[in-house]
Amino acid sequence: MGAVLFILVLIASFIIVRIGAVAFQMTGLEWSLAKFQSLSCFSGTGFTTKEAELITGDQRRRRIASILIVLGNAGLVTMIATVASALNPEQVLIVRFSESFLPFSIPSAMVPWINLIVIIVGLLVIYKISTNRKIAGKITRYLRKRIRKKDLLKPVSFEELLLLTGGYGISRIEVCENSPLIDKTLMESDLRKNDITILAVVRGSETIPNPTALVTIHKGDELIAFGKLQNIRRNVCKA
C-alpha cells in the first residue's frame, strides 16, 4: 500500500509542477524558465538571486510560488513517510492479499523488496512520461486549456510582455557624466554591436521616438533601450 501511495504522490507532484509552470508562463515567464522556477519552488532548490527576483517582484508569481512551496513540503513529507512504510517488513497487506488471491503466500521478508521494485518501476515510468515531449506536451496543453477556461489567471499586460526573460528587457537609463556615449551619435556609439536598440531619447521635456543613427547623445539624456539589461548598464553609464 505504501508503494502505491508513493507512486500516486509522485504523479500528483508531476502534475502540480506542470500546473505551476503553466501558471508562471501565463504571467510572462519564458517556458523553460517557468518550468525551472516551478520545479525550484516545489522542491525548494535551484534558486539563484537573479531568478528569484523574477518571482518576488510580481504579486501573482509570489502567490503561485507560495502554493508550490507549501505543496512541495507536504509532498516531500508524504513521500518520505510512504517510502518508510513501504520498506517496513511488518506490513501485512501484501501478505494477506497473496494468501487470498495468489496460489502461494509471499513471505513477510520479501514485502520491502517487492515495494522497492514497485517504487523503482514507478519512478522509471513517470520519468519516461515527463521526458517524453509528445506526452508532456499533451498534458501541458490540457492543463493550460483548463487554467484559461477557469480564468484562474488574468492575461499578461502589454508592459509585462515587454519584460522578457534571459536577461533581456526594456530599460530607461540616464547618460551620466562619465558615460563613453556623450557627444557621440547613435551610429558612433556602437550600441547595436552590443545588442542594444535605442527606442527613444528623452531630453528634458522633449522625447525623440525611434531616433535615427545621426542623433547625438548628450549628458543627462535618458535612453529608453531594449537589450540585455547588463549590457545596457555597462555601456550607457560606467561607474
Helices (H), 27-154: 31-43, 49-56, 59-86, 93-101, 111-131, 133-150
Which is higher by pLDDT, 45 or 91?
45
For residue 20, count CB atoms less than 10 angstroms from its CB and return exposed for 0-12, middle for 13-18, buried for 19 or more.
buried
| Confidence band, pLDDT 50/70/90 cuts, at residue 67 | confident
CATH of domain 167-236: 3.30.70.1450
Range with top average pLDDT, 134-138, 150-154, 196-200, 227-231? 196-200
Task: Find the mean pLDDT for residues 96-105.
Answer: 48
What was the pLDDT predicted at 158?
44
Which is higher by pLDDT, 226 or 167?
226
Give the integer Cα–Cα distance in Å for 115 and 88. 9
Ordered strands of the 168-174 beta sheet: 168-174, 222-228, 196-203, 206-209
Give me 138's grid cell: 499533451
Q: Where are the domains of the chain?
A: 2-156, 167-236
CA-closest candidate to residue 71, choices 119, 110, 111, 23 = 23
pTM of the model: 0.50
Which is higher by pLDDT, 149 or 218?
218
CB atoms within 10 A of CB 179: 21
What was the pLDDT predicted at 208?
93
Through-space distance between the first and last CA atoms of the chain, rounded to whole angstroms? 63
> Rounded mean pLDDT of the chain?
75
CA–centroid distance for 175 within its chain: 34
pLDDT at 220 over 80: yes
